Structure 1
Amino acid sequence: MLRWLARPAERCLGRGGCGCGSGAGGGGDGLLWHAELKPHASGEYSFAVAQANERLEDQGQVVTSQASTFVGVYDGHGGPEASRFLSSRLFPNLHKFASEQGGMSIDAIKKAFHATEEEFLHLVKGTWLKRPKIASVGSCCLVGAIANNKLYVANLGDSRAVLGHRGPNGRGVVAERLSNDHNVADEAVRKELIQQHPDDSQIVVYSRGVWRIKGIIQISRSFGDAYLKKPEFARDPVFQQYVCPVPLKRAVITAVPSIKVRQIGQQDLFVIFASDGLWEQLTDEAAVEIVFKNPRAE
């Protein structure tokens, strides 16, 4: 039986409307908000929220039906607008394209990500003169979809999905990473950016103790962050009053997700969906060991 754990995020948007049901609330373990085990298409899921920053910029949701299940973890930065937009528009777009194509597919996921990104950039263009900072608002985006016994994982940024399956001879648990971290802390990601921008010697620089794109951001893929995708924002004097000017010739980050598809097998036990706040503290192996050794009946 496949179980899902999604953590952390600001809230399950709509709570009851997204399948979390009633009875969820702050737990005795200090969590901001959580939902205990609830049923979904292929098993059960639980949901936990832990607040790390003074201002909540994250969102998360679980949407369930008899045939499919969707999980979203949106780790916002620069403000809450991008993550909130994702929680309201990404799954409707995904449902639309999947329905048009007769079922879930990599193409439907790519189209949903693209459509949602274009909708948000259109919003930014229409409002940024009144709210210039919205051009610098973005979010990581980790999505899981289960349909027809297949698990689809799509990712922008450094949130991560890790599956736990039974070890050899049915003993113990083995961690299997199902997403790619788009973070320039990874040498392979840095090399990819340098190859894509051969005319820019400052595309990746070491700044304030870590590697950053243009000395600003660590993730190479994200939702939003219009000023790093549309040079006209970075060049505008109005925008420069609020955000440090960045000389751009073209986009330096992208909203094209990496997508993996995996057939669900009998040895697969659970999947952990989490933002980098968890993975900065735990290895993949340590996280799945915790879940495996502490099953929650309530």
Structure 2
Amino acid sequence: MKEMREKVRVWKVRKVWRVRLIVDRVPSSSPSGNQYRILNTGFDEVVSTTKSLTVEPTPLSPSNKQAQNCQVDKTYLYSGFLIFSSSPTKSHVPFLRSFSVFFGVLLLLADLFPHSIGKFGDVLIVGKAEVGLSYMDSLCCFNSGNKADRGRSSCSSGKGRSHQCPVKYGFSLVKGKANHPMEDYHVAKLVQFRGHEIGLFAIYDGHLGDSVPAYLQKHLFSNILKDEDFWTDPNRCIVKAYETTDQAILTHSPDLGRGGSTAVTAILLNNQKLWIANVGDSRAVLSRGGLAVQMSTDHEPNNERGSIENRGGFVSNIPGDVARVNGQLAVSRAFGDKNLKLHLRSDPDIQYTDINPDTEFLILASDGLWKVMTNEEAVDIARRIKDPQRAAKQLVTEALNRDSKDDISCIVVRFKG
């Protein structure tokens, strides 16, 4: 790739240079060709390098004396962000990782100039496509969920905590006894977004393959948070994002297959406000003063028979089996399931609650747990264990001891540490 020389606004943060880029292509007679001005800032792990650029001092404000001349030796692209640095790679990567945790979310280049992203990418991508990816995807995705990840472990667990408030979370997932790969996916993470700390927690219980839950893991929270309505009308935003995501899944059904997935999602804002949304039978249960409060709705065919029949479907009730839509699916709402979509819904039920002194913890789990355990039993088990990861593991272990045969996924979120 030809060496590029650009004029950019730049100021130093420790050993890293923050840069603003303006998308408009500026005709130039210089040997380097077209120029771009700065519009955005970004820091994260290095994934791609380009040749050095020349910078010139342009103070950001009259009081800013940090701007200075320097040669930018490395330029990095990560999920749509430009990173300019004059320090050795090894010395600044740890700081970049910590920056993304403690200093908040940054704007996405593609959102700022969607019509110019292709032109911009032609110059700086260096044959890779990272610049076209959404930052919200990288923010919300727990793992990539691509085909390379299909050989996942039959069990996994983990935990995390807030650095600003007492919130801690833990999760545990175990493959069931069925003769197919693990089909449960999850999200469990705390992110900084527009000056707020947001907890993103979800269980996606797939069926007929894991392509749909993997897609949800990567895209559903992204579609919620990138909508400006989230800050003014969260319920409307969540409903819209569920619908948009389901339509995208159906559009990509040749690639994603004929399967589907349930979803139960929790969004925790500043450890003060909590929104729970769900489709299907994955469930959210809150412990409030030791009492179990179900925060989701089990979408079972018998409970929504009228809606299914109005859409031209039917509900089968075969002795010894659960009720099923058209004799096939055991839930009345789901993402995907293109062959049954005419008879299914994908709009979520949503519940909101404030986090008050009596609100102890939240349990999210797939039906592999709830088939063998009541809400009250789950709360009693989790309440005895302060560490949320250990609590999630114990719930999964108890479900296995009760002969649950399905995949089991569980997240426990403690609001008081």
SS in 2 for 1:210: coil
Going from structure 1 to structure 2, the CA distance change for 1:81 and 1:196 (only over 3 Å counts) comes to closer
Indicate conservation of the 8 Å contact 2:284/2:296, yes or no.
Answer: yes
Query: What is the CA-CA distance between 1:15 and the residue it aligns to?
Result: 11
SS in 2 for 1:55: coil
1:32 aligned onto 2:155 = yes
1:63 paired residue among 184, 189, 195: 189
Query: What is the CA-CA distance between 1:198 and the residue it aligns to?
Result: 5.3
The normalised TM-score by structure 2 is: 0.52
Task: Name the residue aligned to 1:123.
Answer: 252
Alignment of 1:207-226 (within 5 A): 207=318, 209-226=321-338
1:93 paired residue among 223, 235, 243: 223
Task: Name the residue aligned to 1:239.
Answer: none
> Could you list the runs of 5+ residues in structure 2 that have no partner in the other structure?
1-136, 144-152, 391-417
Indicate conservation of the 8 Å contact 1:156/1:256, yes or no.
Answer: yes
Structure 1 letter corresponding to 2:333: R
1:275 aligned onto 2:366 = yes
Query: What is the CA-CA distance between 1:109 and the residue it aligns to?
Result: 0.5
Going from structure 1 to structure 2, the CA distance change for 1:37 and 1:96 (only over 3 Å counts) comes to closer
Q: Which whole-Å deviations, capped at 9, do the CAs of 1:13-59 have from their partners, x for residues lacking one?
A: 9899749xxxxxxxxxx981111353377511011111114411121
- State how far apart, in whole Å, the 1-side matches of 2:163 and 2:278 are: 21
1:204 aligned onto 2:322 = no
1:72 paired residue among 187, 202, 214: 202
Q: How many residues align?
A: 235
Indicate conservation of the 8 Å contact 1:211/1:218, yes or no.
Answer: yes
The normalised TM-score by structure 1 is: 0.71
Q: Which whole-Å deviations, capped at 9, do the CAs of 1:146-174 have from their partners, x for residues lacking one?
A: 115111010010000000111xxxxxx11
Task: Name the residue aligned to 1:144.
Answer: 266
Task: Name the residue aligned to 2:296.
Answer: 179
Task: Name the residue aligned to 2:235.
Answer: 106
1:49 paired residue among 173, 177, 188: 173
- State how far apart, in whole Å, the 2-side matches of 1:44 and 1:264 are: 14
Query: What is the CA-CA distance between 1:95 and the residue it aligns to?
Result: 1.0
Q: Quote the sequence identity (%).
A: 29
- Which structure would you say has the larger RCO, counting Cα contacts within 8 Å and 6 or more residues apart? 1
SS in 1 for 2:226: helix
- State how far apart, in whole Å, the 2-side matches of 1:196 and 1:289 are: 36
SS in 2 for 1:286: helix
Going from structure 1 to structure 2, the CA distance change for 1:199 and 1:267 (only over 3 Å counts) comes to closer
Task: Name the residue aligned to 1:285.
Answer: 376
Going from structure 1 to structure 2, the CA distance change for 1:269 and 1:101 (only over 3 Å counts) comes to closer
SS in 1 for 2:236: helix
Going from structure 1 to structure 2, the CA distance change for 1:154 and 1:112 (only over 3 Å counts) comes to same
Indicate conservation of the 8 Å contact 2:287/2:359, yes or no.
Answer: yes
> Could you list the runs of 5+ residues in structure 1 that have no partner in the other structure?
1-12, 20-29, 167-172, 230-250
SS in 1 for 2:361: strand
Structure 2 letter corresponding to 1:204: V
- State how far apart, in whole Å, the 1-side matches of 2:360 and 2:284 are: 13
- State how far apart, in whole Å, the 2-side matches of 1:40 and 1:178 are: 26
Indicate conservation of the 8 Å contact 2:308/2:315, yes or no.
Answer: no
Indicate conservation of the 8 Å contact 2:186/2:204, yes or no.
Answer: yes
